[in-house]
Chains A and B, each alone.
Chain A
Amino acid sequence: MSEESATVAVTGETPSDLEDVDISVDPENLQRLNPRVQLIWMVGVLITAVFFGAIATGIAWYLEYPFVQVGLGVGGAMFIIGIPYTIIRYRVWRFAVREDSLYLQRGVFVKVQTVVPYVRIQHVDTTRTPLERLTSLATSVIYTAGSRGADVNIPGLEPDRARALQERLKDLANVSGQDDAV
């Protein structure tokens, strides 16, 4: 077939260029979120559990099953699974303000690492939902011109830390960015 001639391929070997890339992450530099963020996430889990519990109750009622037990069972099970999920989620969440990029790693089921170069930062928002205000926390949202730029946010920061981060990122973006990057 002609396609073989067009695409010469090697299998599974590390390209030589990749071999001398330093991927060691200095654990000293990695920051964690404030543990109170678990409370916020737990409320989210609770709302989800109640929502699906209610749907299950409705379906059970329609099918003439014992709906109270089904609803409590489904909602309760979701909540119980949600507790370790939240704790693990908090434990694996890390970010680092590196020399020329912001680095994030997170995710329980899907582990995601992100590198956001300061040159690419368009602006940084600090947002606080009512629940975050109650727990005195904030979220930093980092925007780039990328098609999925708004995906980068750091929750569970103390307001001072969020503001400091916003300032720092703004300064770093300023010194390195002079082009509109598009």
Chain B
Amino acid sequence: MKLSPLTIPFRVFEMVLGLGSIGIFVIIGATAVLDVDGVLIASLATLVIISVLGVSIGYSIAYYRRFDYELTSDTFDVHSGVFARRDREIPYYRIQNVSISRNIIHRLLGIAEVRVETAGGDTAEVHLRFVSQQESSRLQQEITERKRDEPADTTKEPGTTEVVEHGDTLFVISPSELALLGVVSFDMRLVAFVIALAIFLDPGTMADLLVAVPMIVMAPAAIIAIYIIGAAVSGIVAVTNYWDFRLVRLSDELRFDRGLLRQFSGSIPLKKVQSMTITENVLARQFGYARLLIETASFAPGEASGSQTAIPIATRERVTNLAQSIEAFDHPTFTRPPRRARRRYFFRYIGLAFILTGVMYGVDSSGLFDLEWYWTLGLLVLTPIAAHLKWVNLGYTVQDDYVITMAGFWSRRLTIVPYHRMQTVFTRQNIFQRRRHLATVRIDTAGSRSLRGQDAVALDIDADDATSLMELVHDRMQQQIEVTEPQFTWLNELDTST
């Protein structure tokens, strides 16, 4: 099958925009330095635009002509490449998800971008740019159905499945939930971006502000301003991302659709769930709301971390119920770390407050800025509260089939890991932990490498319990795979018998 013919004009448009702007910048830069006359610039610019257009059209046509994909009885085949040719065959049962993404221009043209993912890797294994909107839905549907069939079942003729599966709708975001999502979403990365933008656009005012206003006024004012700007931007981003979010359960996968400006549709294979995370940030917690993330072993397109959002926001009860329908864990009763862990955090925060004060003092005495450095000592008052809040939100529990950990005050995360998904388990103990006979257990599952650790972590538990927990997770994993996989055989025995 071919891509949509509209691919050609769209790719030309993209390439002209990209290459053309670089070319124009080079010309403008060169004229500023070399001091040449206007006629030459105009003719050069025309030449650049024409050649860029020519190359783009030629390449896009070649790309379109060379690109071919096919749904065979047991594999999805893609033949591509203008200069270097590549033929790729992916068995259906290895496909983890098929996602569709459409921005505003795609929607005007009626085309869509399709990505096909298998386990591992940090890019999509197949990237179709672009197919028509109907074709994208057909591919998603078709691959889901073929994936479900036994790999041996080739009796089914391709294209005979006319019935479109609708499934059960599990969740549709309501306007009030969307509004609440906007209110509680707060992304520190966006805040950093806003600050960087402000400094870039108007460095003078920023520097003036820093020296003109006394710090006792400046610091709280800055925190409030940063919060308001950050919250507003994060809120807008969250609302546009999760606009019209709906989650549907097909027989063995969850399908979600979301997005206002960029529409996105993806799936979560339920048989491949590695772990689930219920997160409640400090604001959402006050309202009793939570988010459900599901980690599969594939790269999650359109997400910052390796997990996919199954429910962006809903009441904690509803989120827990849905999570329990996917993995049947019991309502957890957590074991908190011993009280000496809280003491450790208390001393840690005192240390941090002193280090911060030292840095402020250093900056002040260097004469570059005039800081009232001693105000940071006021943070010492907050250390017992901070230590308690950190400690009170920690916990872990072992159930028959799951290990569940909880951590985080600003964003509290409950991570649910089925034992049989564990890959390796670590116990770590640094010098401070050793003094208090504490240790941290980390249960690693399969997944794409992400910056934000999504692993289940039991932080600062008793060191002996840590070793026991490590061994217990491993033992139960062994038991579970032996129970759930009766075909467990010893190869050497097989070899001798045949």
List the interface of chain A (C-beta within 8 A of B).
1-3, 6-15, 17-19, 21-23, 100-101, 107, 109-117, 119-120, 144-149, 152, 174-176, 178-182
Contact = CB atoms under 8 A, between A and B. Distances in A.
Interface stretch (B128-136, B216-224, B247-255, B470-478): B470-478
A23 B445 CA distance: 22
B53 interface: no
A179 B335 contact: no
Nearest to A7: B334
Given A23-B471, A175-B492, A145 B485 contact: no
Given A7-B332, A9-B333, A182-B297, A23 B119 contact: no
Contact of B339 (A8, A11, A181): A11
Contact of A11 (B338, B477, B491): B338
Contact of A148 (B397, B427, B444, B462): B444
A22 B274 contact: no
Q: Which 6 residue pairs are nearest across A and B when measured between Cβ atoms? A: A146-B423, A12-B338, A182-B297, A145-B446, A146-B444, A18-B468
A148 B136 CA distance: 35
Contacts of A21: 468-469, 471-472, 475
A149 B467 contact: no
A18 B476 CA distance: 12
A104 to B, nearest CB: 9
B297 A145 contact: yes
B235 interface: no
B447 to A, nearest CB: 5
B365 interface: no
B406 interface: yes
A144 B488 CA distance: 20
Nearest to A22: B471
Nearest to A14: B465
Contacts of B107: none
Given A12-B335, A111-B428, 18 more contacts: A2-B285, A10-B333, A10-B335, A10-B336, A11-B338, A12-B337, A14-B465, A14-B468, A18-B468, A21-B471, A107-B428, A112-B427, A120-B424, A147-B445, A147-B448, A148-B424, A149-B444, A182-B446
B395 A9 contact: yes
Given A18-B465, A119-B481, A149-B423, A182 B272 contact: yes
Contacts of A8: 333-334
Contacts of A148: 424, 444, 449
B449 to A, nearest CB: 5
B470 A12 contact: no
Contacts of A182: 119-120, 272, 274, 297, 446
B487 interface: yes
18 contacts: A3-B285, A6-B316, A7-B395, A9-B395, A12-B335, A14-B464, A15-B397, A18-B469, A111-B429, A113-B426, A113-B467, A119-B481, A145-B119, A145-B120, A145-B297, A145-B423, A146-B424, A182-B274
A12 B334 CA distance: 10
B233 interface: no
A112 B424 contact: no
A110 B446 contact: no
B336 A9 contact: yes
A175 B491 contact: yes
Nearest to A21: B468
A149 to B, nearest CB: 7
Interface string B175-210: 000000000000000000000000000000000000
A180 B423 CA distance: 11
B143 interface: no
Interface in B374-422: 392, 395, 397-398, 406, 412, 422
Given A17-B472, A120-B423, A9 B334 contact: yes
B54 interface: no
A14 B425 CA distance: 19
Contacts of B477: 117, 119
B468 A147 contact: no
Contacts of A111: 428-430, 434
Contact of B428 (A101, A110, A120): A110
Best-buried of A19, A111, A116 by chain B (most CB within 10 Å)? A111
B455 interface: yes
Best-buried of B447, B450, B468 by chain A (most CB within 10 Å)? B468
B468 A146 contact: no
A115 B339 contact: no
A144 B470 CA distance: 17
A153 B475 CA distance: 22
A130 to B, nearest CB: 29
Contacts of B306: 147
A112 B466 CA distance: 11
Interface in B68-122: 119-120
B199 to A, nearest CB: 28
Contacts of B485: 178-179
Interface string B297-309: 1000000001000
Contact of A147 (B392, B446, B462, B470): B446
B295 to A, nearest CB: 10
B18 interface: no
A21 B444 CA distance: 20
A3 B72 CA distance: 52
